[in-house]
Every structure is written in structure tokens, then in C-alpha cells.
Structure 1
């Protein structure tokens, strides 16, 4: 809640889930609460969509074009809701309606909160006041979904058969126990609204297992004409096996994709948002092996 003297300003969207798609009307109510008659210099409401990219300053590659990664406005519209005047004591409610459309030559991307890339949509209401009183501003984020066409014929299970011989980037001097872990992810393209399913079977392992974990990671690529930089960061980690699991027993894989921190796989001219799943087996001696699967998230 924003405060300005004895006046407060609230924003409320009429759609409870605050989720919209291109072309939808974003409707809501502005509520002004005041303990006495209040003079103002105008009330306005605006809808804004912004794409922001940033990179870790430690990434020297990006120092050359860091300044070029400025926020990009994807959508903007505004309305004057009240001309300068006075509001009576108590609560004054003002309905508003703004259409969600992109700016000319821009694209609406789905709401996404990443480490290096953020796509955010907000409704902002501003009540201007005299020089002696601060303007009152209230902002409210809403969620934008962007469905994408996809060819389900490309979808197929991702099978795996992990053995010491199948692992890469292992030093020749490293001694690994003998093991064989098989299974599959049911699909390679996952609907973001449905869980990722699959199964895993430990056929044999000559050393005890401490834990089997599933990591969901985002792979964010930012760039410009000066170059590109790519970073992978973990979104969530779930344990699907605790302790020395039974051999030849099917262990179910079930992972829900978290809202806001995931979005449909996005390939744009100056950035990419991709996803991968890491299957991690930790042995009782704390050594671990990992298999990585590139997956595609889709919004039907």
C-alpha cells in the first residue's frame, strides 16, 4: 500500500488469477481512501510490459556490451482516470480498462522471472498532488501467458541408460563403481501446465546409493551485436530416491514446473530462455554422477 499523508491508494484486478493473454482487457478498480476531503492534480493508470536483461559483472565477455542491455518496453498504454479536482472523505472507487497489446514492432513474451532475464507486466496508478505533498503511486504485477503452436509429432520419450562407460568429462584416473541405471522421461516437449513424468530403475550398483535427485535448470542466453553470453542456473531440486534404493524397482519421476520461474522455451533475436533437467545420483562415499537432458517447455 502506498501512503501520502492521510491518503492511501489501492489497485485491484477483477480477474482473480491475474492472468491474461494478448488482446485481453485488463480490468480493475482504483480505490482512494482518505480521512478528509482531498485535493489532487489528476489520477492516471498505465499498463506496461518490460523485458530486462542483465549479466554478472564477473563475466568479462559481457563488459563490452553490458551497457547495451537496456530494458525494452514491450507494451504500454495509459488512461487519465480523473482530472485535477477534489475527492470526498471516505473511499472513492474508479473502474479502469486497458487492452493488452504489444507496441509496434515489438513482441509480447510470457511473464518470466529469471536470474539474467526478466519479463514483467504491471499496472501502475499515479495520483498527482501539489508540491507540498508527494505523488502517490501504486503498482501491481499481473501475469501474461503466450501460447505457441507446436508440432507434437516431434515429441518422443527421452530414454537413458547410465553406466560408467556412458559418462562424459570423467578423468581416466577416476575409479567409478560398477552401476547401471535405466529409465525414461515420458516426453521431450512438456506442457508447462502439466507435470514432467517418467521412471527410473537402478538395475545394479556395487556401492550404496545415498540420494537420487532431479534438478530443473534454466539456460539463459543474452546478447547483442557485440556478442552473447550463456549461463545455466538451478530453479529447483527434488529428491526422488532417499538412501540405498531397491534394485530393479521402478521409481516414479514427477516434477511440477513452478510458475513465474519457468516459461515456454523462447528463442528471440537477442536472448534465449531454455531448460534442462539434471539427473543426479549421489553415492554413499559422496561421489556423484549426473546425466543432463535438454527439454522443451510449451504453452498450449
Structure 2
């Protein structure tokens, strides 16, 4: 016997105002009796242990309890029998029940912090038989109406890089001859849109072999009156690989 959940969308992405739809698929070689089929939606914010050396945020693991976002159980089917073979039981659930009290945050899987939503099915078979259960994760994206601004206007930030802005050791040629790189980058954008900007090398005392752009993830938690922050590298993209002066 086996049971698993099949959501209506292959990408498993839903918005809080939408219905969470799918099927409960039960496979059994002979008919079975059950005492109810229930679906449970759980959402929570958690600190997670990565393993290895503990980071600043990770050091609070075990001190800060998971923060529940939503927890709801719905009975899909009352006591009855399920025939042999494959049985599909459709379901449709409202994610948001109370517009004033419930707030859904977008799904997030960081290095230290995660926001996760799980859907679990339980088929109760009484004291003499083991219950059947299965769990799957679904992804929450914010409704457009929940955004602070709609749409978010692009904000370009101008930056510059010189030998005086660097904190790490530099080659003697760079210290004496110097260099200057200027540019601008958009600091507000949708996760589904590209990150736009431009960069200009105005001068450099040594040839530049490549230009890499790195994207970092910054995770913060508020513990008492203190904000603890952890930074981790997500992606490195080579913007130019041709050597030039």
C-alpha cells in the first residue's frame, strides 16, 4: 500500500489568495477500510543547522523556536472503504481563511533561515493498522496586492571602486598607479526578472583579466534588541573575460 500527493501545478507555486488543488493517490492490492482522510497545511519560519562550523545566526539554533505561520487540518473523506488498485481523491483548499490575521510570507530556503510550507495527508486505519501518510512541499509567492508598491519602481544606485575603497592588500602597482571603476545597479527588482546595471573601467595601472559579479544573500534575525546578520555567497557571474588595460 502507498499514498502520495499530486498537486495541480508541476512547479507547486501558489499565491495565498488561490486554491491549493490536487489529488490524493492511494495504491493498494486489496480493499482497505479507513476512519477518515485528513489534510494538514503547515507553514513555519525556522532556523536550520548546516553542519560544520556554526555561524553567527546558527548559534541561536535551539534558542529561537520555530514561528508558525499557518496550521490547518481539513477532513477530505469520512470513514469508508477504498477499493483495490489505484484510487484518486481530489481536493481543493483555501490557503487564506482570515484576511486580517493570516499573513503568508514567501517561501525562502537560505543558509540559516527557511520559510517552508508543507501539505500532509493522513489516512487513519485504527489501532490495529498503521496509518498511511505522505508529505509534500508547496511554494508560496506573494500576491501582487500584498506588495508595498505595485509595481516596484527601479532604483539605480551609483557606485565607484578605487584603491582607497579596498580593505584587502593590493599590488604595489595598484597602490601607486591606482584604478577607478564606476557604475550603477538596480537595487529593487523581482526575483523573476534580471538584475540590471552597468560598469565602466575608467583607468587601471595593471591589465584586467576578468570582471566577476558576485551575488550575496544576507539573512538577519532580531534577538532581543540585537540584530544578528549572516552573509553567504550565492552566485558568481563572469561579466568579462577578455584582458584589457
Poorly superposed stretches of 4+, deviation over 6 Å: 151-154
Task: Please state how far the C-alpha of 1:243 moved relative to its aligned partner.
Answer: 4.6
Gaps of 5+ in 1: 1-6, 248-300
The structure 2 residue matched to 1:91, chosen from 70, 86, 108, is 86
What is the alpha-carbon distance in structure 1 between the residues aligned to residue 141 and residue 81 of structure 2? 39
- Report the structure, 1 or 2, having the larger strand content: 1
The corresponding residue for 1:80 is: 75
Q: Secondary structure at the match of 1:109?
A: coil
In the other structure, the counterpart of 2:66 is 71
> Normalising by the residue count of structure 1, what TM-score does the alignment of the two structures yield?
0.69
Q: TM-score, normalised by structure 2?
A: 0.82
Report how far residue 175 of structure 1 moved.
3.4
2:114 aligns with 118
Q: Residue 105 of structure 2 aligns with which residue? A: 109
Which residue in 2 is equivalent to 1:37? 31
Secondary structure of the residue that 2:189 maps to in structure 1?
strand
1:169 to 164, 167, 170: 167
Gaps of 5+ in 2: none
For the 8 Å contact 1:68–1:224, the answer to whether it is kept is no
SS at match of 1:110: coil
In structure 1, the residue matched to 2:239 is 240
For residues 91 and 114 of structure 2, what CA distance do their matches in structure 1 show?
Answer: 26
Q: Matches of 2:153 and 2:78 in 1, distance apart?
A: 56
- The C-alpha deviation readout for 1:138-158, integer Å capped at 9, x for no partner, is 112111111412287974322
* CA 1:210–1:229: 2 relative to 1, 3 Å: same
Structure 1 position 80, deviation (Å) = 1.3
Indicate the residue corresponding to 1:253 in structure 2: none
Q: State how far apart, in whole Å, the 1-side matches of 2:7 and 2:205 are.
A: 58
Structure 2 residue corresponding to 1:134, chosen from 121, 130, 134: 130
Separation in structure 2 between the aligned mates of residue 169 and residue 17 of structure 1, nearest angstrom = 43
Give the superposition deviation at 1:227: 3.7
Do the aligned partners of residues 149 and 205 (structure 1) sit closer, same or farther apart at CA in structure 2, a change above 3 Å counting? same
Whole-Å separation in 2 of the counterparts to 1:234 and 1:136: 41
Partner Cα separation in structure 1 for residue 46 and residue 88 of structure 2: 33
- The root-mean-square deviation of aligned C-alpha atoms, in Å, is 2.9
Indicate the residue corresponding to 2:199 in structure 1: 200
Distance verdict in 2 for CA 1:105–1:116, change over 3 Å: farther
* Aligned twin of 2:140: 144
